[in-house]
């Protein structure tokens, strides 16, 4: 099965500072990759997904961007953080080659708790 | 709009009792999945039920799907303190999963 490495576990950043969260995947190749954000006590909001290197789709307009420089590396970034960017960020990966069908589960990283002050 | 809305939002039960959670969705789906999240952690996949299936079992878990009512239920039998977590349903469509708000389940020893 897959292993999703996500770091850091917690992060406290001032408003206006940059952000870079990294996620790497082991145990599969050519996965679909996802960034979700979870507000306290809420469900998951899909931010970005990627079906391949340099192929990124954004789900909601926002202050964040994503990049996929390698097959199993997914990075979430911001040039200037806002207070509203605070939340729990989760990286997820699907089984390999599931761009056409998604009858498979997602594997999640352990998450990054971001606090913007 | 986000699919998957679990009901009830919070459930507190005694160890050994059964816990039932419901989820409704709005559009056609290929499958529906249930995930579990321990506090401050990532989600873990529990079970997947396809749109042409009506019921599925995995250990102490039982999932039902009613596509005519666009709803699903998750039953955890003989609950244990270790089952304390948040449970999310997720519906698959357009190459992505949409998650509901989740049910928080507390199992009291």
Concatenating the DSSP letter of every residue in A46-101 gives: EEEEEEETTEEEESS--S-EEEEEETTEEEEEESS--GGG-EEEEEEEEEET-SS-
Tokens standing for residue B92 = 């698959």
Give dist(CA B90, CA B25) in Å, integer: 9
Give dist(CA B74, CA A5) in Å, integer: 29
Do A111 and B48 make contact, defined as CB atoms within 8 angstroms? no
pLDDT > 90 fraction of chain A, expressed in percent and rounded: 67
Task: Compare CB distances from B41 to A46, A105, A110 and report the shortest one's residue.
Answer: A110
Smallest CA–CA distance, residue A105 to chain B, in Å, is: 6
Give me the pLDDT at residue A88, please: 96
Give me the pLDDT at residue B5, please: 53
Give me the pLDDT at residue A47, please: 93
Do A46 and B98 make contact, defined as CB atoms within 8 angstroms? yes
DSSP SS3 for A27: coil
């Amino acid at each position: 099965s897959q292993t999703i490495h996500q770091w850091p576990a917690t992060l406290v950043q001032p408003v206006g500072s940059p952000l870079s969260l990294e996620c790497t995947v082991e145990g599969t190749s050519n996965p679909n990759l996802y960034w979700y954000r979870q507000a306290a006590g809420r469900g998951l909001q899909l931010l970005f997904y990627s079906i391949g290197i340099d192929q990124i789709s954004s789900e909601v307009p926002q202050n964040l961007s994503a990049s996929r420089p390698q097959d199993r590396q997914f990075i979430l970034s911001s040039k200037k953080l806002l207070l509203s960017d605070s939340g729990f960020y989760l990286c997820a990966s699907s089984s390999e080659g599931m761009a056409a069908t998604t009858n498979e589960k997602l594997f999640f990283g352990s998450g990054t708790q971001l606090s913007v002050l | 709009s986000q699919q998957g809305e679990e009901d009830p939002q919070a459930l507190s039960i005694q160890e050994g009792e059964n816990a039932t959670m419901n989820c409704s969705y709005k559009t056609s789906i290929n499958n529906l999945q249930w995930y579990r999240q321990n506090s401050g952690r990532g989600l873990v996949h529990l079970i997947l039920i396809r749109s042409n299936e009506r019921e599925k079992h995995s250990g102490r878990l039982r999932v039902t799907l009613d596509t005519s009512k666009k709803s699903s239920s998750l039953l955890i039998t003989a609950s244990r303190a270790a089952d304390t977590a948040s449970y999310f349903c997720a519906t698959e469509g357009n190459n992505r999963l949409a998650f509901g708000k989740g049910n928080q389940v507390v199992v009291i020893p």
